[in-house]
Chains A and B, each alone.
Chain A
């Protein structure tokens, strides 16, 4: 059997499902290519976006208080919605106390909680007709991350890393930033059956000192010159070993990975160090955990990290947007922080000329009920709500200044141009130049994809 036959064998399989891109991964996992995850791979078609930054509002922000104004709630205040369980909808509809206004040339509407983002209105594409399958955090989170409710599939970031590889072989392709563990936890960035190199590198952002952020970044005692000496000896010994072994490609790839690791110590030390940002930039993002993580996300994205996920968590709360009580005040605080950091990120990316090729996604696992949830003490909250909610896209080839789709007059159900989570996934992959039906991985006897058998690209939002 010849090398070309082997490749043909691979291509035969590719006809059975390995997409064009997946082929690179498939050959890797079969040992036909040196199994280095770093190399960038060609997309299916010309991409609009090269990278993604996903700002995740854990717990589920309230759409009727943020991006989906519902004056109808005022008229129907106190009325109970039809079709909802009584125990859930005891208190009836309650209007948002926040004023909504159109902004920018395009007139994108948002509530007064986003004074900074309002200035970026013409860059935003607000999806007002999102819907998902369940109103529970765990399955909702897993679905939003991996396209299924059970924790058995790779995350979107892993798929993207697998499909496109990394733009910078001295940095990981998929980085996850969070001050603590979110609900569900590491499965949200799991590579599952995809090769382990595609799992998200989890970075805890409570302490932004670079040596705290990245494990094993530096030798505990040796300086760089001493370690270089070590590596020179190691290189010599490894090459002697290699020479007696017919230049085995697997051994060579180990040698290369070692040198990359040595370089990564410098690249990562630089990339992960927000202390190198001028004071003005740090100020613009805000000094909150989320603000500083957004700043770090920009640094990583700018240096070629393909997928950065930033979780909005608080030190004592792993889903702060889950406002079952005191919804209004808590949204006021949360939005102030999120607004500032998100707007700063968009402004910063734009100023650097990166917004066009960086897709920013803002949203949670679902929305919140347009009706009130009575609290045992204090002000009312809003409950989980999955049949209609909002998400925001910006940059990366989406139409700016757009509001897409609609919920009904009280914000209960998405009714116009509905966008399911699978559709969002298909659209994100499309913007990256990936056909969601062709990015597949053969596992356990069949070809898996992020969107399973679902997903429709929302072409209307693509510039």
Chain B
């Protein structure tokens, strides 16, 4: 007999067992009434969602035993014997605020039967034969045992045999694991490759041919260290890394819905936030302060502070259609909680909006404790000049996003996320599992300042780990934790836990300096290794995903670095830092791609084509896709045709002599190296074919710009 049939039989027998178990004191005729009228209706109309046999029990309510029906679900007791008015089951059947069954109201006669039954004491012979065990309590203290909620510890560098290869402390951790696995790391990359790699990584731009020659020929033992310092000091460093942060901050300049021509919810001066991020990174503002300013600059700075645009992290978030309605504001608060949760803490706090988190020790109360902070915060636009007005800007083009204290408001938990079902009021507070003691209520205004302090607290186990991991992922193609925005139970476990922790602790000890973190990574032997897999057959066999980092991964440039590199090659790249947003598709537009207008309504076609993340939500990482439509852009777009012509013109103007010399110059300009013999031969052949010799150069230049080498970094 199959399990299924057994279950079926059991179900058939249950009523009989139930009857047998009828309790003394329940009048026979009332039990009969239940069996004749009530139980069949429950089985037919309710059990599919409200019984042990339901695929998924809805609303926390089960109606298949007496006790569970009386206990009720998320909204309260379903059956209160003798009191129809308090019995939510009856209210739902009557189609009041609650409406059950959801697809159609039951006939009046049946509803009347339920009323009669409850009035007469709700006789119910069903014992709790199938009661499921209650879910494990989500106790913050118990939950703290999970690795991510333990404070990170520093670790001594493990002993390794190949000490000469351990240039930095992180190398020791990586080498220990490689040696353990018996995998030989790849040798260092050659100087040209390394320079192209580190220049793209630190500035998002290729090195110039002159820089390449100087570096390759620099005899100084610290040539590389000096080069890294020079790159870190360039404004291009901030432009490069701002974009990583803007992905996290779901930076955009408008809304996904715009009703008619109503521009009141758009952010024409959002670029001020972007410029602030660039400058803050260039100034190496410590990360804890960097975050604090973005959450609460209005509370920690003077009214005239140049740091107020930092509030764009909160103030440039999505605003939804018909805002002001509670249900809509609840959606907006979720956005703010999510950008703090996944963006800063690597924790899916927003999952706890409708129910306690299913996997992590985060309660609904934690969610509403944070949502209350944003419910107590006002966001609006204000004219840039005359900083006094508090109303929405009349002229949106003059407006800047303002974040200001509202009326401090503690929210009631919305049961199952439904704004019409309010539970207990929760004081505003930080996520309990991340708090040192049980989370203290926030008392100052909205609580944003206390929130910022809690996020950046030295004892918060996640903030430093999360940012260190994000930066690591940008270099190595994968984080030490492969899910950068989810360090919870459903996220990945760290591949090198001690390394992650040690890096996080040193990051905090060193004053939260991002530049120091970059330095630590790019000066490591691991970062300097060749990306070739040919050195270690064993590595590709035993570690095909390269989790041990025996070699550097080959990486594809993101759309920003790729477009910038094309502009750098054509000679058109403008180095103007900051300013209003631009259209990166415009062939005449020469500023860097980081300055692109980012729209939630209609993302720029170029950005959308090349895997730019959806700016409606904080991005955990970029997904890479390879599509023919991308290549049609590369082959045919006015932008690329214009750059090819500019490149050809530039070579003609700057390089006297024959095709061979120009081919050589082109390779150095685009790829940072000299062409091989075969490459030169192919180029010469192409250029010498065809009637119109003069037209060949732009065509050839276009091929070089379209090549894989332009888009990948070894």
Contacts and interface: CB of A to CB of B under 8 A. Distances in A.
Given A242-B708, A260-B631, A234 B703 contact: yes
Contacts of B632: 215-217, 261, 264-265
Interface string B558-580: 00000000000000000000000
B48 to A, nearest CB: 10
A3 B625 contact: no
Interface stretch (A51-59, A195-203, A288-296): A195-203
B617 A237 contact: no
A184 B708 CA distance: 37
Contacts of A237: 679, 682, 703-704, 707, 709
A199 B608 contact: yes
A251 to B, nearest CB: 5
Nearest to B686: A233
Contacts of A231: 635
Given A138-B257, A227-B635, A257 B627 contact: yes
A394 B232 CA distance: 62
A29 B556 contact: no
Nearest to B485: A444
Q: Which of A217, A242, A261 has the most CB of B within 10 A?
A: A261
B342 interface: yes
The interface size bin for chain B is 35 or more
Given A226-B699, A261-B635, A35 B322 contact: no
A241 B321 CA distance: 50
A397 to B, nearest CB: 23
A279 interface: no
Interface in B602-624: 602-603, 605, 608-612, 614, 616-617, 620, 623-624
Given A6-B544, A196-B608, A264-B628, A445 B320 contact: no
B351 interface: yes
B486 A1 contact: no
B321 A201 contact: no
B636 interface: yes
A375 interface: no
B220 interface: no
Given A37-B627, A186-B601, A444-B348, A218 B636 contact: yes
A35 B554 contact: no
B638 to A, nearest CB: 7
A139 interface: yes
A139 B321 contact: yes
B712 interface: yes
B678 A238 contact: no
B635 A187 contact: no
A229 B256 contact: no
A254 B338 contact: no
A253 B556 CA distance: 12
A34 interface: yes
Contact of B626 (A16, A201, A257, A415): A257
Given A261-B635, A262-B635, A246 B616 contact: no
Given A192-B614, A242-B708, A257-B631, A187 B703 contact: no
B452 to A, nearest CB: 23
B602 A261 contact: no
B486 A444 contact: yes
A236 interface: yes
A150 interface: yes
Contacts of B686: 229, 233
Interface string A30-47: 010011111000000000
A219 interface: yes
Contact of A248 (B257, B342, B554, B700): B554
A312 B491 CA distance: 44
B150 interface: no
B154 interface: no
A444 B337 CA distance: 13
B242 interface: no
B617 A193 contact: yes
A216 B628 contact: no
A186 B255 CA distance: 12
B257 A151 contact: yes
Contacts of A257: 626-628, 630-631
A11 interface: no
Given A29-B623, A257-B628, A260-B631, A1 B708 contact: no
Given A237-B703, A418-B104, A445-B491, A216 B678 contact: no
Interface residues of A, number: 80
Interface string A182-210: 00111100111101110101000000000
Contacts of B350: 444
A230 B348 contact: no
B543 A1 contact: yes
A242 B608 CA distance: 27
Contacts of A218: 636
Given A1-B544, A152-B616, A220 B641 contact: yes
Given A192-B614, A230-B702, A197 B708 contact: no
Contact of B532 (A138, A172, A245, A261): A245
Q: Which of A226, A415, A416 has the most CB of B within 10 A?
A: A226
Which of A152, A231, A240, A418 is packed against the most chain B CB atoms within 10 Å? A152
A231 B628 CA distance: 14
A172 B629 CA distance: 8
A245 B342 CA distance: 36
Nearest to B617: A152
A415 B699 CA distance: 66
Contacts of B351: 444-446
A462 interface: no
Nearest to A227: B635
A255 interface: yes
Interface in B265-315: none
B490 interface: yes
Nearest to A190: B614
A463 interface: no
A147 to B, nearest CB: 15
A82 interface: no
A170 interface: yes
A240 B676 contact: yes
Interface string A1-16: 1110010000000001
A3 B623 contact: no
Contact of A151 (B342, B542, B616): B616
A75 interface: no
Nearest to A138: B321
B348 A418 contact: no
Contacts of B145: none
B545 interface: yes
Nearest to A194: B623
A396 B560 CA distance: 43
B116 interface: no
A287 interface: no
A197 B627 CA distance: 7
Contact of B601 (A185, A238, A446): A185
A190 B107 CA distance: 42
B100 interface: no
B706 interface: yes
Interface string A349-362: 00000000000000
Interface of A: 1-3, 6, 16, 28-29, 31, 34-38, 136, 138-139, 142, 150-152, 169-170, 172, 181, 184-187, 190-193, 195-197, 199, 201, 215-222, 226-227, 229-231, 233-234, 236-238, 240-242, 245-246, 248, 250-251, 253-255, 257-258, 260-262, 264-265, 415-416, 418, 444-446, 453
12 contacts: A6-B545, A172-B629, A187-B600, A196-B609, A216-B636, A216-B637, A229-B699, A241-B707, A250-B712, A416-B104, A444-B486, A453-B56
Given A226-B699, A245-B714, 5 more contacts: A138-B322, A238-B708, A265-B632, A418-B103, A444-B485
Q: Which 10 A-B pairs have the closest CB atoms?
A: A445-B348, A261-B631, A151-B256, A261-B628, A260-B628, A216-B636, A197-B625, A216-B632, A138-B321, A186-B602
